[in-house]
A and B are shown apart, each in its own frame.
Chain A
Amino acid sequence: MTYDIAINGKQYRLDLDHIDGRWACRVDGREVEVDAVLARPNVLSLRIGNKAYEVKCERVGGEMHVWVGSRRFAAEVRDPRSLRSRVRATDEHGAKKLTAPMPGKVVRVLVSQGAEVEAGAGVLVVEAMKMQNEVKSPKKGTIQRILVIEGAAVNAGDVLAIVE
Chain B
Amino acid sequence: MFKKILIANRGEIAVRVIRACHEMGIAAVAVYSDVDRAALHVRKADEAYPIGAPAASESYLNIQKILDVAKRSGADAIHPGYGFLSENAKFARACADAGVKFIGPTAAAMDAMGSKTRARQAMERAGVPFVPGTSRGLESFEQAEQVAARIGYPVMLKAAAGGGGKGMRLVHAPEELKSALEGARSEAERSFGDSEVYIEKAILNPRHIEMQVLADEQGNTVYLGERECSLQRRHQKVVEEAPSPIVDPDMRRRMGEIAVRVAQAAGYTNAGTVEFLVDQQKNFYFLEMNTRLQVEHPVTELITGLDLVHLQIHIANGERLPFTQNDVMIRGHAIECRIYAEDPDNNYFPSPGKITLLLLPSGPGIRRDSGMYEGWTVPMDYDPLLAKLIGYGTDREQAIGRLTRALNEYFVGGIKTNISLFRRILGNPDFRAAKMDTGFLDRLLKQKADQSDMQPDSQAAEVAVIAAGMFAVLGSAAAEAGECAVINGSTTKANPASNWKSAARREGLR
Interface core residue of A60, A79, A133 (most chain B CB under 10 Å): A60
A69-B464 CB under 8 A given contacts A36-B470, A37-B487, A58-B414? no
**CB atoms of B463 and A133 under 8 A apart:** no
Interface residues of B in 301-353 (CB under 8 A from A): 341, 343, 346-347, 349-353
Partner of B357, one of A27, A37, A42, A53: A42
Q: Is the CB of B455 closer than 8 A to any CB of chain A?
A: yes
**CB atoms of A12 and B343 under 8 A apart:** no
Interface residues of A in 35-52 (CB under 8 A from B): 35-38, 40-44, 46, 48
**CB atoms of A129 and B467 under 8 A apart:** no
Contacts of B490 in A (CB 8 A): 21
Q: How far is the CB of B37 from chain A (nearest CB, A)?
A: 19
Contacts of B356 in A (CB 8 A): 42, 58-59
Q: Is the CB of B468 closer than 8 A to any CB of chain A?
A: yes
Contact segment of A101-109, A110-118, A140-148: A101-109
**CB atoms of A46 and B492 under 8 A apart:** no
Contacts of A69 in B (CB 8 A): 408, 460
**CB atoms of B466 and A32 under 8 A apart:** yes
- Complex interface bits, B135-162 against A, C-beta within 8 A gives 1, otherwise 0: 0000000000000000000000000000
Q: Is the CB of B449 closer than 8 A to any CB of chain A?
A: no
Contact segment of B168-176, B249-257, B379-387, B388-396: B379-387
Q: How far is the CB of B510 from chain A (nearest CB, A)?
A: 12
Interface residues of A in 17-37 (CB under 8 A from B): 18, 21-23, 25, 27, 32, 34-37
Q: Is the CB of A71 closer than 8 A to any CB of chain B?
A: yes
Q: How far is the CB of A155 from chain B (nearest CB, A)?
A: 10
Q: How far is the CB of B304 from chain A (nearest CB, A)?
A: 31
A129-B466 CB under 8 A given contacts A41-B484, A102-B349, A102-B351? no
Partner of A70, one of B420, B478, B491: B420
Q: How far is the CB of B418 from chain A (nearest CB, A)?
A: 13
Q: Is the CB of A8 closer than 8 A to any CB of chain B?
A: yes
Partner of A67, one of B384, B411, B484, B488: B411
Contacts of B472 in A (CB 8 A): 3, 77, 79
**CB atoms of B465 and A27 under 8 A apart:** yes
**CB atoms of B487 and A38 under 8 A apart:** yes
What is the interface residue range for chain A against chain B? Answer: 35 or more
A68-B350 CB under 8 A given contacts A59-B356, A60-B414? no
A35-B467 CB under 8 A given contacts A101-B343, A128-B352, A129-B382? no
Contacts of B23 in A (CB 8 A): none
Interface residues of B in 465-510 (CB under 8 A from A): 465-474, 478, 484-492
A38-B486 CB under 8 A given contacts A67-B411, A68-B460, A102-B351? yes
**CB atoms of A58 and B413 under 8 A apart:** yes
Q: Is the CB of B359 closer than 8 A to any CB of chain A?
A: yes
Name which residue of chain B comes closest to A2, CB basis: B469
Contacts of A27 in B (CB 8 A): 462, 465-466
Contacts of A130 in B (CB 8 A): 382-383
**CB atoms of B467 and A57 under 8 A apart:** yes
Q: Is the CB of A98 closer than 8 A to any CB of chain B?
A: no
Contacts of B484 in A (CB 8 A): 38, 40-41
Contacts of A59 in B (CB 8 A): 356
Q: How far is the CB of A5 from chain B (nearest CB, A)?
A: 5
Q: How far is the CB of B9 from chain A (nearest CB, A)?
A: 15
**CB atoms of A36 and B457 under 8 A apart:** no
Q: How far is the CB of A82 from chain B (nearest CB, A)?
A: 10
Question: How many angstroms between the C-alpha atoms of A104 and B350 in the bound complex?
Answer: 10
Interface core residue of B346, B350, B414, B467 (most chain A CB under 10 Å): B467
Interface core residue of B407, B423, B456, B469 (most chain A CB under 10 Å): B469
Name which residue of chain A comes closest to B346, CB basis: A101
Partner of A22, one of B352, B380, B463, B488: B488
A68-B351 CB under 8 A given contacts A18-B492, A21-B488, A101-B346? no
- Complex interface bits, B346-376 against A, C-beta within 8 A gives 1, otherwise 0: 1101111100110100000000000000000
Could you list some 18 contacts between A and B, CB below 8 A?
A8-B456, A10-B461, A12-B465, A18-B487, A25-B466, A27-B466, A37-B487, A38-B474, A38-B485, A42-B356, A56-B357, A57-B467, A69-B408, A72-B454, A79-B472, A102-B350, A104-B380, A131-B350
New contact pairs (15) apart from A3-B469, A57-B471, CB-CB < 8 Å: A7-B465, A8-B461, A21-B491, A38-B487, A41-B357, A43-B359, A48-B466, A55-B463, A60-B414, A66-B464, A70-B407, A72-B454, A77-B472, A128-B352, A133-B349
Interface residues, chain B, with chain A CB atoms under 8 Å away: 341, 343, 346-347, 349-353, 356-357, 359, 380-384, 407-408, 411, 413-414, 420, 423, 453-457, 460-474, 478, 484-492
